[in-house]
Amino acid sequence: MDSIKVFCPATIANISCGFDVLGLALDTVGDLMTVKKQQEKGIEILEVTGQDLPKEAHRNVAGVAGMALLQQADYNGGFSISIDKKIKAGSGIGSSAASSAGAVWAMNELLGKPFTRRQLVEFAMEGERLASGVAHADNVAPALFGGFTLIRSYNPLDIIHISPPGELVATVIHPQIEIKTSDSRKILKTTISLEDGIKQWGNLGGLIAGLYTQDYDLIGRSLEDHIVEPIRSILIPGFDALKKHSLEAGALGCGISGSGPSVYALSRSLATAKEVAAAMKTVYDKLGIAYDLHVSEIGKSGVRVASPSEANFN
Amino acid sequence: MDSIKVFCPATIANISCGFDVLGLALDTVGDLMTVKKQQEKGIEILEVTGQDLPKEAHRNVAGVAGMALLQQADYNGGFSISIDKKIKAGSGIGSSAASSAGAVWAMNELLGKPFTRRQLVEFAMEGERLASGVAHADNVAPALFGGFTLIRSYNPLDIIHISPPGELVATVIHPQIEIKTSDSRKILKTTISLEDGIKQWGNLGGLIAGLYTQDYDLIGRSLEDHIVEPIRSILIPGFDALKKHSLEAGALGCGISGSGPSVYALSRSLATAKEVAAAMKTVYDKLGIAYDLHVSEIGKSGVRVASPSEANFN
């Protein structure tokens, strides 16, 4: 196999009480990417559609992630990459991570899978370093593992994969405003009260328990964030209304996706997730804010070979 | 049934990364208590052996917890209680909680189980309020539910029961020194760094995942505490040596039990837990510190009817 076309999922990081540690992969929202072996060494970005991104490999996250992999690979050639970006940059649903993760996953397949998923995460983190200045795994981990991922520790990198409860569906609304990850991080305080900390790890414990036992009520009760959401939500227009109406429409929980501005909700069925989407739509229609709206199941596999319908779509 | 004899387990609260939220019940370390229905209203403490404790019901944690239950019960009589204390007061393994939990569990049995376990926890918390000034559930929750308990929230009270992985065995060493819970709480800082908070909830997430998947290595990796242990361990003689030698002897993890001074370790077999006990013993023998030493599996049921051998023992 010399060529592969992959689906690179959008991801939700910082899931409420899981700030900096818990993320999930979406099933039907993501980019498409074609990766081909070539004799020439290094990475060549052949084409980027859907978005204006650098084509020089060292300035493109897929290129940088790919080069990190090539440095460790027993392979004398290189790869060409064509990317069809569907996830908007700065959306807060892991646009750069999708490209980084997709590139290294595809290359690993073409080389006969010499690397573990954990190693692929480490390569993809180099793409995140280019994108945001920090080699974080919040989005590349769920993009590569699928389902939910808990990053227990960075040193050493310890990622726990959790299969998603089958009935869980995500709704994501992306207001067309820009918040830079770096700005969004700057407004956070560097200290928190011990009391809020205890609430946060109590909730994260509850959420992880809910995911393993498929206890949707517990998942809902645990989707709280007393630390980051009260601060960052100020940057997101209509956040309180989005959350209120999502919960009234039946969502289990609702919070900020990544560092925003996207807002996510989790629901217990596709029907409810669609009602939540309608409720979110109403809020932004009233406020006159442009948005993208997604409803997706949780992706079980992360990056994967594109399905025939996805492949034809491009 | 007018009389019941129960085993009231010792408990380990504040399990490393689970400060204030995660506890467990021991299987073979605990008190014995006999509770009898009587016509006279209220609670009468007939006898306390093994420890010098108040016999006035309103000054005895079992009495106070029992009165909290009686206030809600559809019952015109009262109860007498005889307690054989084996868990030393101030040990950090839930001595007061064992009495509070045992009393209300026994009364609930004698009344035909009108109350849920969660309600029993609320009654028993009144005993904790008497003992420490704070109606916490850290020890009474595992004493009543057995296994591991996660207190996700106090308002409303939300307790998640987690069955213990079958091969997990606890070692607990109790140095004969006194640390008051109130003092032990005073030395904690009221703020923590966000960075340490993230490590803590990452570890708690990992620990909960490890308990559900019976991943003993993950349990071990997650048994870290960057927040409370570095401060409180200063009050415990030889803590660093106890921890070092426990881990070298094969323990998965080691930390402070409750607010100390007891130190616990968790291991993956009875044999390893015994080796850990021997390692702990050596440390305190060298330092010339008197101690009690316990090795116990995790109790699956919490408070329970005393077994025939336990019943005869008293």
**Cα B271 vs. chain centroid, distance in angstroms?**
23
Residues 8-27 of B with CB under 8 A from A: 17-22
**Can you give the C-alpha Rg of chain A in angstroms?**
19
Q: Average of pLDDT values for B37-51?
A: 96
Percent of chain B with pLDDT over 90: 93
- Give yes or no for residue B180 having a pLDDT over 90: no
- Give yes or no for residue B182 having a pLDDT over 80: no
Question: Computed from CA positions of residues B253, B158, A216, A21, in that sequence, does the dihedral angle turn out positive or negative?
Answer: negative
Average pLDDT, chain A: 96
Q: What's residue B186's pLDDT?
A: 85
**What is the per-residue pLDDT across A168-181, written as a single tens digit (0 to 9) for each?**
999 999 999 987 76
A92 pLDDT band (50/70/90 cuts)?
A: very high
- Give yes or no for residue A140 having a pLDDT over 80: yes
- Give yes or no for residue B313 having a pLDDT over 60: no
Residues 71-130 of B with CB under 8 A from A: none
- Give yes or no for residue A105 having a pLDDT over 90: yes
Q: Look-up: residue for tokens 């959401």?
A: A229
A200 vs B contacts (CB less than 8 Å): 197, 201
Q: What's residue B185's pLDDT?
A: 78
**What is the per-residue pLDDT across B194-241, written as a single tens digit (0 to 9) for each?**
999 999 999 999 999 999 999 999 999 999 999 999 999 999 999 999
A138 vs B contacts (CB less than 8 Å): none
Task: Check if B160 contacts A (Cβ < 8 Å).
Answer: yes
Give the nearest partner residue to A191 out of B17, B20, B191, using CB atoms. Answer: B191
**What is the per-residue pLDDT across A153-209, written as a single tens digit (0 to 9) for each?**
999 999 999 999 999 999 999 999 987 767 777 889 999 999 999 999 999 999 999
A204 contacts B209? CB cut-off 8 A: no
B195 contacts A194? CB cut-off 8 A: no
A188 vs B contacts (CB less than 8 Å): 194
A280 pLDDT band (50/70/90 cuts)?
A: very high
**Can you give the C-alpha Rg of chain B in angstroms?**
19
Task: Check if A194 contacts B (Cβ < 8 Å).
Answer: yes
Give the nearest partner residue to A194 out of B158, B191, B199, using CB atoms. Answer: B191
**What is the per-residue pLDDT across A210-258, written as a single tens digit (0 to 9) for each?**
999 999 999 999 999 999 999 999 999 999 999 999 999 999 999 999 9
Q: What's residue A314's pLDDT?
A: 41
A308 pLDDT band (50/70/90 cuts)?
A: confident
- Give yes or no for residue B314 having a pLDDT over 50: no
**Tokens standing for A133?**
């200045």
Helix (H, G, I), strand (E, B) or coil at B228: coil
- Which segments of chain B are extended strands (E)? 3-12, 22-38, 42-49, 78-84, 148-154, 157-162, 169-175, 191-193, 253-256, 263-267, 291-297, 304-305
Q: What's residue A47's pLDDT?
A: 95
State the complex-level ipTM.
Answer: 0.96
A200 contacts B194? CB cut-off 8 A: no
A190 vs B contacts (CB less than 8 Å): 193-195
CA of A270, closest CA in chain B: separation in Å? 27
| CATH number for the domain formed by residue range(s) B169-297 | 3.30.70.890
Among residues B181, B224, B229, B272, the one annotated as catalytic is B181
Please report, for residues A45, A67, A68, A126, B117, the alpha-carbon distance to residue A58 in angstroms, rounded to integers and kept in the order given. Answer: 10, 8, 11, 11, 60
Q: Average of pLDDT values for A124-132?
A: 95
B192 contacts A192? CB cut-off 8 A: yes
Q: What's residue A312's pLDDT?
A: 60
Chains A, B: CB contacts within 8 A come to 128
Catalytic residue flag (residue B128): yes
CATH 3.30.230.10 domain locations along chain B? 3-163+299-313
Closest of A35, A38, A124, A30 to residue A82, by C-alpha: A35
Active site residues of A: 128, 181
Gap between the Cα atoms of A209 and A198, Å rounded:
16
Task: Check if A206 contacts B (Cβ < 8 Å).
Answer: yes
B197 contacts A152? CB cut-off 8 A: no
Axis-axis angle for helices A95-110, A61-72 (nearest 10): 30
Report the run of H or E that residue A293 belongs to, with start and end. Answer: strand A291-297
Gap between the Cα atoms of A202 and B21, Å rounded:
6
Among residues B44, B122, B126, B128, the one annotated as catalytic is B128
CATH 3.30.70.890 domain locations along chain A? 169-297
Q: Look-up: residue for tokens 């969004």?
A: A184
Strand B191-193 and strand B304-305: pairing?
Answer: unpaired
| CATH number for the domain formed by residue range(s) B3-163+299-313 | 3.30.230.10
**Which residue type is seen at B148?**
F
B205 contacts A150? CB cut-off 8 A: yes
Q: What's residue B181's pLDDT?
A: 67
Q: What's residue B312's pLDDT?
A: 61
**What is the per-residue pLDDT across B106-151, written as a single tens digit (0 to 9) for each?**
999 999 999 999 999 999 999 999 998 899 999 999 999 999 999 9
**Tokens standing for B73?**
């019960």
Gap between the Cα atoms of B146 and B7, Å rounded:
12
